[in-house]
Chain A
Amino acid sequence: MYQKFRLLILFIVISFYPYFVYSQVDESINVSANYSNKPLTEILQNIEKQYSVKFYFKNEWFEKDSVTIHTENVPLNQFMDKLLSGKQFIYKEIQKNIIAIIPKNDYAMIMGQMYEQEDVTTIVVGKPSEAGKYKKVEIKGHIKDGKTGEALIGSNIVLENTTQGTVTNVDGNYTLVLAPGNYNLVVSNIGYETTVYKVKVISNGTLDMELFVTSHKIEDVNIYAQRPDKNVRNNQMSLVEIDSKVIKQLPSLTGEKDIIKSFTMMPGVKSVGEFGSGINVRGGGEDQNLYLLENAPIFNTSHVFGFISVLNPDAVSSATLYKGHIPAGYGERVSSVMDIQIKDNNCKVFKSRGGIGLYNSRLMMEGPMFKDKVTFKIGGRTSYSDYLLRQLNDYYLMNSSASFYDANALVTYKGDDSKLTVFGYISNDKFKYAKEQSYEYGNKLASLNWSYIFNHDWSSSLIAAYSNYNVNLDYINTIVEKRRVQSNISYTSGKYNLKYVGIPNHTFDAGIQAISYNIDPGEQKPLDSISLVLPLTIKKERALEGSFYINDLYEINQVFSLNLGLRYSAYAYQGPQDIYTYSSNHTKDTIYAIGTTSYGKNKIVKSYMGLEPRVSFKIQFNNKNSVKLSYNRNNQYLSLLSYTSVPTPNDIWKLSDSFLQPLNCDQFAIGYYRNFKNNAIETSIELYYKKLANLLEYKNDAKIEMNQHIETELINAEGKNYGVELLLKKNKGKLDGWISYTYSRSLKKTNSKFKEEIINNNEYYASSYDKPHDLTIVGTYHVNRRWRIGANFSFASGRPVTLPENQYTLNGQQLIYYSDRNKYRLPPYHRLDISISLDESLKLKKKWKGSWTIGLINVYGRKNIYSVFYKRDTPSQANNFHMFSLYKLYIIGRPLPTITYNFIF
């Protein structure tokens, strides 16, 4: 036993030898201790809990050893000297904050061995009996925080002095395929000490490693830690990953991080209006993005009409946006997939964090439930705008209400080879403006994810997901038509993924998925006995979507890699439905209906299917630059019907049916990636071209709500989006940040022969998401470890709008003649935000840590137009006619200060 421990100490010392030689006990840690006749082991454990330090020793050495020690803010080495004073032990910091306590008698021996038996420093992976048996072998393992046990996502494992390496996944696991031999594995993660592991690889095996936080905290959260050269070496292109460090530095309206909105600062990602709901990726509509929160889709990502995203930033671990070459494992949408993962639960200690803002506050707690096996996380946010409204001296506002909340919970069970995660989420928004109209909408999400590792070659995940979005809209500003209109979508999915890495240089993924959609497009009810509104229910929609996929990432050599994927999706729109048949000589309109076909329950009304190939190719010239090409096709069977250019909560989800064909998109992209100055500066340029078929367009004055024959309002259009995206990013130094510029177009056209379905003479016109120029500059100056100053500037072309050009009188009514659709463009959008932040105390012993962010949004008070609308004045007795006037609405027309206090305890 003793020998075993000595070997352990020896291993630790030798493993960290490069640091051992140069490191001393961290002087930045000052220890206060007040113990009287306490077991030494207990004191050491307490010190570990209070400070970011870990001790290696053998319990039996100190079993009967009690110590009295009183210190006040003394350096760690002084504390250790005092603690071990008069004892036959010495201590040595073998890596920053890792201290080995060794019997004095053994010290010389251990150190001697270190120099004499260098081979002992090497960790052997595999069975020595299998030496020489394999050409390629696979190392798998798990990287975790040495103190909390938390899986470390995005940790880099690189073979020293090579470009070869990998990154841990969301579970902290990694896989590395190597030729047998000796290597130095350099393991790193932001905020953790980089560690070098010497390994001798013989055959397939497991190697788990730990990292330890640096003595001072660089930041509170690492939402995503990237390899510094990941942009160059990653096979995936058109990828956006937002780092928490960046999100934290961005000024935001409510003072808290907004993960979804942060993506709009990256190339190719925009939003329709300032604080508009959702995002537009490479010219696609909001409904063309799949937002997955712990594998369950979110159908409305915004609170308060788009002011705040529905994600609690404290809970989120990683957020990855695929703009192009969407991996074959993902389907359902054509423009992008945003995969948002909840942070792995802290399995060692209870921890809380939160924030207090002007409009809302949040709190999150996490910790272990049953030892290290089961952990939990629970969090929530709520607004207090209702209270604020009641304080206002305005009839309408004080009688109005506006509130929201969201809550999430995650329970994780970790076994030896498996992990089970159960996730739940709920959000709710309520708006009421005096006695006008009121909204209530919310998401409900649940998912279950069971990951299982069969052996070195095979692993799998089984995912069940449920999502529901419900909206109620009450019309109360009417004499006889007070009514409630409800709509709802629910989504249930089962997915099984399988991964195989048994063939060297190949990573195979395959999976199968089944989705059930249920939509209540609308139900109308009278709100009182006077109301003349008749109850009306639009027939429910049901559909099934099934798919399977297979993908092979083939790393041909260090220069070339090929990613081949194929997804096949099949879709069935089911009864009960009554489907009109329309005259082929007219536009679809109920007055031209010539018959009805009825379908019974579960009968297939219409089915679609299609292949969705995904291909990408990478040429990596060296570890500084690479070229990537990709092609992908995606099908989408679900669309969002919107009354307006800017999404609203009561937009209605609609399934593909006999008339509305599935949207499909072919995207080609090529990119060049080049890093400079040891990855301190990264640059990229990407060009893309997208061709869309069966794009949704609306007839003039389309009626969406409570329409039993919505097909009569829709037009089938085609689209093309193209653009070039440039990114220059500085990752290191006192001043960091990025500049992104995108030139892009998003165009569509109709192809109908009927006048009601012809928009702009069947010629290409700009879609509402067409903003050719888009520039973002983000910079942060780190004054010191706690103080930083941030600024970001955005410029974008104004979005297209349809404006009134002429007026005329008919039937005694003054009417408007509009321009061609989207003929005009709003003025350019630009805005400068600044912030100054004081991060939490660097003293790790402090239990309660607070941080402040003070920001100024829209520094020079630009009145960026949110929308344009017209008003008619009231006719006077004198002239008896209306005057038309155009008006613009802007959201923040002057500099807007924000202040937020965040805390952790």
Chain B
Amino acid sequence: MLVFDKFNNRTSLVVSTLLTLLLFTTCQESYNPDDIDSSKKLLVVDGSITNNPGPYTVSLSYSSPFSDRYSYNFIRNAKVYISDDLGNTETLVEKGYGKYYTSKNGIRGTIGRKYKLRIELVDGSVYESVPAILNPAPVYDSIYPVMAEIDAVGTNGDGEVSVEKVKGVDLRFSVSTSEKSYYRLFSTVTTQWTHQKTPVGGTPIDVHCWVNSYLNSAIDVKSGVYNGSKYVIKEHSMGFLQYVFDNSMPKTDKSGAQISPKKQEGWDVITHIFSISPEAYIYYESIVKQLDAGERIFDPIPSQLRGNIHCLTDSSKIALGLFDVTSDSIVFNAFFWTPALHAVDHRTADTIPVITDNNCVDSRYPPFWVNFFFK
């Protein structure tokens, strides 16, 4: 099986260069200093309010030691409030696992209003976010596909490295605005394909399967570059939809039915375009830098993330995370890949049902099936 393996540039280069020149005396191994102070429990806030109807969610947790196995230390019994600059305040309700919700008919994000978050923990400490304005709903010019072929470096079952050309669709985003805008893009993808199943002694039937995933698991933020008249984001790559060719011979399942190679493939893509504040943009960029900085051996300048939450009762207390005040435009796109033509068809839609499960159905298209958008 070919596993796409994206190397960290700097690490790989330097490590291998050193390796080579020192005839493999260079090496890396686990490092566990015993003097790291991981005892701090820092408040982590993850919440937002948008122009879309609520309920809005705020998650509260504590940080955990760096080397611990992951554990989500959620915070219970906190008092959480969202308020606007008109004096409206709503107290959020805890519904378990450190998640606090507004009510369905409670506070509603309105463009042009300022909002802030207040948190009161049971230990008496009080935190607040810096008030932020809810920007107008973002606009965009286009989201469109570009056929692309890339080198995927991976390992086979024996651990041998190989390189294979992979075809697919690179999704691009373009926009130009008169005012400088800051965007965060987030897309979910439902990948769908069809193959034929021929039961023993029966006639072939089409089987339709789908899998949900993120288009780009990384945080995707972008701001316009001034071109003399407008702020432009041109051909920003949102992510790659890889078409996995199925050249296999027909297989047999447990029941003895014969499964054909894949016949066709398509993707439903739901994209949230958030218009974020400059401060939030800087914050998200910092996250990107931090995620990118891992495994770099030259000790890069650390990416220390500080959000917009501050402790009112003790200024030395550090809080992490962001209460994001943002407007959101949702865009629906569907792409259909025809293997024989090596081409992709593209449609937009007013809406696409949100699919949460991964499954297959026989003989009939599911209601969200990508084919419907092309009819």
Contact A883/B64 with A892-B25, A894-B25 known, Cβ cut-off 8 Å? no
Interface centre among B17, B38, B172, B236 (most CB of A within 10 A): B17
Alpha-carbon distance A889/B298, docked complex (angstroms) = 10
Contact A643/B301 with A437-B13, A808-B64, A816-B290 known, Cβ cut-off 8 Å? yes
CB distance from B14 to the nearest CB of A (A): 7
Q: Does A843 sit at the interface, judged by CB under 8 A?
A: no
Q: Pick the residue among B13, B18, B219, B289 that contacts A813 (CB under 8 A).
A: B219
Q: Are A701 and B16 in contact (CB under 8 A)?
A: no
- Residues on A with C-beta less than 8 A from B63 are 806-808, 817
Q: Are A888 and B28 in contact (CB under 8 A)?
A: yes
- Residues on A with C-beta less than 8 A from B299 are 644-646, 768, 801-802, 867-869
Contact A810/B44 with A431-B13, A883-B69 known, Cβ cut-off 8 Å? yes
Q: Pick the residue among B20, B170, B282 that contacts A392 (CB under 8 A).
A: B20
Contact A802/B28 with A396-B16, A402-B17, A807-B70 known, Cβ cut-off 8 Å? no
Alpha-carbon distance A629/B252, docked complex (angstroms) = 90
A contact residues, total (Cβ < 8 Å): 92
CB-contacts of B142-184 with A (<8 A): 148, 150-151, 153, 160-163, 170, 172
- Residues on A with C-beta less than 8 A from B68 are 807
Q: Does B278 sit at the interface, judged by CB under 8 A?
A: yes
Q: Does A400 sit at the interface, judged by CB under 8 A?
A: yes
- Residues on B with C-beta less than 8 A from A812 are 217
- Residues on B with C-beta less than 8 A from A881 are 70
Contact A436/B295 with A304-B17, A479-B170 known, Cβ cut-off 8 Å? no
- Residues on B with C-beta less than 8 A from A253 are 22
CB distance from B247 to the nearest CB of A (A): 23
Alpha-carbon distance A131/B210, docked complex (angstroms) = 110
Q: Pick the residue among A648, A702, A811, A889 that contacts B15 (CB under 8 A).
A: A889
Q: Pick the residue among A397, A827, A869, A882 that contacts B20 (CB under 8 A).
A: A397
Q: Pick the residue among B160, B236, B240, B304 that contacts A700 (CB under 8 A).
A: B304
Contact A703/B289 with A305-B14, A813-B219, A869-B296 known, Cβ cut-off 8 Å? yes
Q: Are A819 and B26 in contact (CB under 8 A)?
A: no
Q: Does B287 sit at the interface, judged by CB under 8 A?
A: yes
Q: Are B21 and A889 in contact (CB under 8 A)?
A: no
Q: Are A810 and B320 in contact (CB under 8 A)?
A: yes
From B4-12, B99-107, B263-271, give the one contacting chain A: B4-12
Which residue of the partner chain A has the closest CB to B218? A813
Q: Does A872 sit at the interface, judged by CB under 8 A?
A: yes
Q: Pick the residue among B7, B27, B42, B306 that contacts A477 (CB under 8 A).
A: B7
- Residues on B with C-beta less than 8 A from A869 are 11, 294-297, 299
Q: Could you give, for residues 618-648 of chain A, a 1 whenever the CB lies within 8 Å of some chain B CB and a 0 otherwise?
A: 0000000000000000000000000111101
Contact A701/B321 with A480-B148, A534-B234, A817-B63 known, Cβ cut-off 8 Å? no
CB-contacts of B65-106 with A (<8 A): 65-70, 72
- Residues on A with C-beta less than 8 A from B17 are 304-305, 400, 402, 431, 433
Q: Pick the residue among A304, A436, A475, A883 that contacts B70 (CB under 8 A).
A: A883
Alpha-carbon distance A885/B70, docked complex (angstroms) = 12
Q: Could you give, for residues 245-270 of chain B, a 1 whenever the CB lies within 8 Å of some chain A CB and a 0 otherwise?
A: 00000000000000000000000000
- Residues on A with C-beta less than 8 A from B286 are 700-701
Alpha-carbon distance A483/B221, docked complex (angstroms) = 20
Q: Are B294 and A437 in contact (CB under 8 A)?
A: no
CB distance from B36 to the nearest CB of A (A): 6
Alpha-carbon distance A385/B22, docked complex (angstroms) = 10
Alpha-carbon distance A866/B303, docked complex (angstroms) = 20
14 pairs across A/B with beta carbons < 8 Å? A436-B12, A530-B148, A643-B301, A644-B298, A815-B305, A817-B63, A818-B304, A824-B35, A881-B70, A887-B31, A888-B30, A889-B15, A891-B25, A892-B26
Interface residues of A (CB under 8 A from B): 253, 304-305, 307, 359, 385, 388-389, 392, 395-397, 400, 402, 431, 433-439, 475, 477, 479-481, 530, 532, 534, 589, 591, 643-646, 648, 698-703, 755, 768, 801-819, 821, 824, 827, 863, 865-872, 879, 881-894, 896
